[in-house]
Amino acid sequence: KERGAAVSTRQEVDANGRPVSKVVKKGVKDFNFGRTLGEGSYSTVLAATDRQTLREYAIKVLDKRHIIKEKKVKYVNIEKDTLNRLTDHPGIVRLYYTFQDERSLYFVLDLASGGELLGTLKKMGTFDEECTRFYGAQILDSIAYMHSRGIIHRDLKPENVLLDDKMHTKITDFGTAKILGLNGGQDGSRPAGDPMDGAETDRAVSFVGTAEYVSPELLTDKNACKASDLWAFGCIIYQLLAGRPPFKAANEYLTFQKIVALDYTFPDGFPEVARDLIERLLVLDPAKRLPIDHIKNHQFFDGIIWGKGLWKQKAPRLRSYV
Ligand SMILES: C[C@@H](Nc1nc2c(c3cc(-c4cn[nH]c4)ccc13)C(=O)N=C/C2=C\CC1CC1)C(C)(C)C
C-alpha cells in the first residue's frame, strides 16, 4: 500500500508562479459512507468508499461531545498514538490518517472485510489444529511486533482479531493499549524480551480487559505487562480448538475467581501438543509464562514459517475440530 494512499494533492502555483502540489487532507465529503461494521464503547466503525479513488476503508467515527463528557479523551489519544506506532505490520489494522468536523473525529483505517474472528469461530464451532496453528501463528507474530514497538494490547480477544479479504488476521481496538516508556511505564529498563516489561509499579490502573481473557496479575496486583497479552493468547488458542474460552462462568466475578484459581480443564480429546503449549501460557506468575521466542519454537507451531512468509501464504480452508 503506497504511503498516504488516502490523502490527495492539489496542483497550485507558489509565490514565484512555480507549480507546486499541495497535500490536501480529505474530509467527510470525500467518502461515501456505507454500513455499520461495529460499535465500540465510544465509537462506531463504518464502511466507506473514497469517492475519488474508489478504495474501501473502515472509518471509526467518535462523537467529540460524548468523549469529553465521558472523560475518554485520554483513550482516544492512546489509540491514535498506538496506531501511529504500529503502521508497518500486515497483522495490525493500519490507520491512514484522521480528520474532524465540528461534531466528530474520524479515523480512516484498513477495512477488514472478513469481520471478526469470533464470528467465524461461532459459525465453525471450533477450528481444527491446522487452522488454529495458522491463525495462532499470525496473532503471535502480530503480538511480537506490538511488543517490539513497546505496545501492550491488554484486551486481546477473538472480537479484536479481524479477518481481511484473504482471511489473514488484523488485530484492532487499541483504545486500552499501554504504551511503554510513557508516563511512568517501564521505559524498556528491563532486558529485551523480559515478559514483565511494562509492569506498572503500584500505579492506579483503572482499566481491566474483558473478563474471560483478563490475566491474573491484572486482577490481583493491577500489574499489566507484556506477558498479560500472552495469557490472553493462551485463552484464544484454547478457544479456537475447544469452541469456548477456558475461564467462563455465570458472571464476571465468578469468572475472575476461576482465573486467579487457575480453575480450568481441557475437554476430552483436546490435542496433547496444544494442551502442553496452553499449560505453559496459562501460568499465574507472568514471569514464568513461555516467552514469545519459546512459543514460536514449541512443537505446536512445527511447520510454521515465521516472518514475511507467514503473511504471503494462503490461509488454510476453515475446518472444525471434531
Ligand atoms: C472490534 C471492532 N470491530 C471492528 N473494527 C474494525 C473493523 C471491523 C470490520 C467488521 C466487518 C467487516 N466486514 N464485516 C464485518 C466488523 C467489525 C470491525 C474494520 O474493518 N476496520 C477497522 C476496525 C477497527 C479499527 C479500530 C482500531 C480503531 C469494534 C467492535 C470495536 C468496532
Query: Is 45 touching ligand 1 by the criterion CB < 6 Å?
Result: yes
Query: Is 92 touching ligand 1 by the criterion CB < 6 Å?
Result: no
Give the Cα separation of 161 and 116 in Å (integer). 6
5-19 per-position pLDDT tens digit: 556 777 888 889 899
Spatial contact of 152 and 178, defined as CB atoms under 8 Å apart: yes
Query: At 197, is the pLDDT very low, low, confident or very high (cuts 50, 70, 90)?
Result: confident
Backbone torsions φ then ψ of 231, nearest 5 degrees: -65, -50
Residue of higher predicted confidence among 221 and 246: 246
The confidence score (pLDDT) of residue 42 equals 85
Above pLDDT 90, what percent of the chain? 78
Query: At 193, is the pLDDT very low, low, confident or very high (cuts 50, 70, 90)?
Result: low
Query: At 194, is the pLDDT very low, low, confident or very high (cuts 50, 70, 90)?
Result: confident
ipTM summary value: 0.97
57-112 per-position pLDDT tens digit: 999 999 999 999 999 999 899 999 999 999 999 999 999 999 999 999 999 999 99
Minimum-distance ligand 1 atom for the alpha carbon of 38: 32
The confidence score (pLDDT) of residue 269 equals 96
Average model confidence (pLDDT) across the chain: 91
The confidence score (pLDDT) of residue 205 equals 54
Task: Tell whether the model's pLDDT for residue 4 goes beyond 60.
Answer: no
CA 207 to chain centre: 16
Task: Tell whether the model's pLDDT for residue 208 goes beyond 80.
Answer: no
Residue type (1 letter), 297 = N
The reply to whether 302 belongs to the active site is no
Give the Cα separation of 253 and 265 in Å (integer). 19
27 Cβ partners below 8 Å, 6+ apart? 99, 101
Q: What global pTM score does this model have?
A: 0.90
Query: At 223, is the pLDDT very low, low, confident or very high (cuts 50, 70, 90)?
Result: confident
Query: Is 115 touching ligand 1 by the criterion CB < 6 Å?
Result: yes
The confidence score (pLDDT) of residue 107 equals 97
Residue type (1 letter), 229 = D
Give the Cα separation of 95 and 170 in Å (integer). 12
Average pLDDT estimate for 296-312: 97
Q: Closest residue (by CA) to atom 26 of ligand 1?
A: 173
Q: Closest residue (by CA) to atom 14 of ligand 1?
A: 115
10 Cβ partners below 8 Å, 6+ apart? 21, 22, 24
23-32 per-position pLDDT tens digit: 777 999 999 9
169 CA to centre of ligand 1 in angstroms:
12
The confidence score (pLDDT) of residue 51 equals 96
Query: Is 236 touching ligand 1 by the criterion CB < 6 Å?
Result: no
Minimum-distance ligand 1 atom for the alpha carbon of 93: 22
Spatial contact of 200 and 222, defined as CB atoms under 8 Å apart: yes
The confidence score (pLDDT) of residue 222 equals 78
Burial of 311 (0-12, 13-18, 19+ CB in 10 A): middle
Give the Cα separation of 8 and 174 in Å (integer). 27
Query: At 183, is the pLDDT very low, low, confident or very high (cuts 50, 70, 90)?
Result: low
Query: Is 223 touching ligand 1 by the criterion CB < 6 Å?
Result: no
111 CA to centre of ligand 1 in angstroms:
7
Query: Is 111 touching ligand 1 by the criterion CB < 6 Å?
Result: yes
Give the Cα separation of 53 and 32 in Å (integer). 11
Minimum-distance ligand 1 atom for the alpha carbon of 58: 21
Query: Is 255 touching ligand 1 by the criterion CB < 6 Å?
Result: no
* Residue reference for cell 462506531: 44
Query: Is 174 touching ligand 1 by the criterion CB < 6 Å?
Result: yes
146-171 per-position pLDDT tens digit: 999 999 999 999 999 999 999 999 99
Q: Closest residue (by CA) to atom 11 of ligand 1?
A: 115
Containing 31, the helix (H) or strand (E) segment is strand 31-39
* Cα angle, residue 202 at apex, residues 201 and 206 outer, rounded to 5°: 110
Average pLDDT estimate for 130-146: 98
37 CA to centre of ligand 1 in angstroms:
6
Mutate to test the pocket of ligand 1, among 45, 109, 173 (most ligand atoms within 8 A of CB): 45
**CA distances in angstroms from 47 to 40, 51, 175, 192, 261, listed in the order given:** 14, 13, 20, 39, 42
271-282 per-position pLDDT tens digit: 999 999 999 999
Residue of higher predicted confidence among 220 and 144: 144
Spatial contact of 62 and 70, defined as CB atoms under 8 Å apart: no
Catalytic residue among 110, 128, 155, 164: 155
